[in-house]
Amino acid sequence: MARTASSLFLAPSLSPSVAAKPAPLFSRRRLLSPSPSSSLPSRPKPLSLSPRATWQAAELEKGDAAAEPAGPSAPAPPSLPFRVGHGFDLHRLEPGLPLIIGGVSIPHDRGCEAHSDGDVLLHCVVDAILGALGLPDIGQIFPDSDPKWRGAASSVFIKEAVQLMHKAGYELGNLDATLILQKPKVSPHKEAIRANLCNLLGAHPSVVNLKAKTHEKVDSLGENRSIAAHTVVLLMRR
Ligand SMILES: [Zn+2]
């Protein structure tokens, strides 16, 4: 993976202390020759990661340090008023397991096989937020090799992602999610799922959208053997 620990610590968006007035995103001057001008953002302070994320940053720093430009000539990174992130997740459905979507238990003859509670929607929302922040994905921050996360409620992961978002100086602009599953019908549970998602994110219902569709009875998604979800988020500097 190409992401480096240094990039985690250099990303200006991850520092709430960076100047509120955004510079042009594609300023050639800013990309090629950072100057000490007061109009430019100062070098950002490192993001304070949670203990769970810190180990990952340390591991990445060891591995990719040589690839990161350093020294006084390193270009100043752009200051972003907005950040977009995309998340995707898929789980196998197996008989006899509970089906939990967006923290809501859905009656069905099968559920998601996973190390945690297998909440496909919350997992991809977490990945979308982490992606927008330029952080490692959910599997790296909450590895399934760690028994600590066995059977964990995915609300834990969402709360952690929201905390990281706030620490980085961002808040949710809006979120759009799409569930893909053949069965059961999501419509009777949609508002409960959306309300719980709003609650977990601390967001107004008007900025959290949930859609659902079948997979036209083709492939594992259409044959009631798996369930997937996509999420796009827009984060705004606070
Ligand atoms: Zn998942």
Q: How far is the CA of 231 from the centre of ligand 1 (A)?
A: 13
Distance (Å) from CA 74 to ligand 1 centroid: 37
Contact of 144 with 157, CB cutoff 8 Å: no
State yes or no: pLDDT of 32 exceeds 80: no
Q: Is residue 107 scored above 60 in pLDDT?
A: yes
Backbone region of residue 103 per phi and psi (left: phi > 0; alpha: psi in -120 to 50; beta: other values): left
Query: Across the chain, where does the E strand assignment appear?
Result: 82-95, 99-101, 104-106, 110-112, 170-180, 208-213, 226-237
* Rounded distance between C-alpha atoms, residue 202 and residue 183, angstroms: 29
177-215 pLDDT, tens digit each: 999 999 999 999 999 999 999 999 999 999 999 999 999
Residue located via tokens 């599997």: 139
Beta-carbon neighbours within 5 Å of ion ligand 1: 89, 123
For residue 216, pLDDT over 50 is answered with yes
Residue 140 Cα to ligand 1 midpoint, Å, equals 12
The pLDDT of 91-112, averaged and rounded, is: 97
Q: For all residues of the chain together, what is the average pLDDT?
A: 79
Separation between Cα atoms, residue 234 and residue 86, nearest integer Å: 9
Instruction: Give the pLDDT confidence score for residue 20 in this predicted structure.
Output: 39
Please, which pLDDT band fits residue 72 given cuts at 50, 70 and 90? Answer: low
Q: Report the distance separating Cα 34 and Cα 16, nearest Å.
A: 20
Task: List the beta bridge partners of residue 229.
Answer: 89, 179
Q: How far is the CA of 171 from the centre of ligand 1 (A)?
A: 23
> How far, in Å, is the centroid of ligand 1 from the Cα of 20?
35
The reported pLDDT for the residue numbered 25 is 37
Lowest-pLDDT range, 53-67, 74-88, 104-118, 150-164? 53-67
pLDDT of residue 43: 41
Number of residues assigned to the chain: 238
Report all structural domains of the chain as residue ranges with CATH numbers, in order of start: 5-67 (no CATH), 82-237 (3.30.1330.50)
Strands, DSSP E only, in 1-142? Answer: 82-95, 99-101, 104-106, 110-112
Rounded distance between C-alpha atoms, residue 149 and residue 143, angstroms: 8
Residue 234, number of CB atoms within 10 A of its CB: 17
Look at residue 65 and tell me whether its pLDDT is greater than 50. no
Cβ atoms of 167 and 45 closer than 8 Å? no
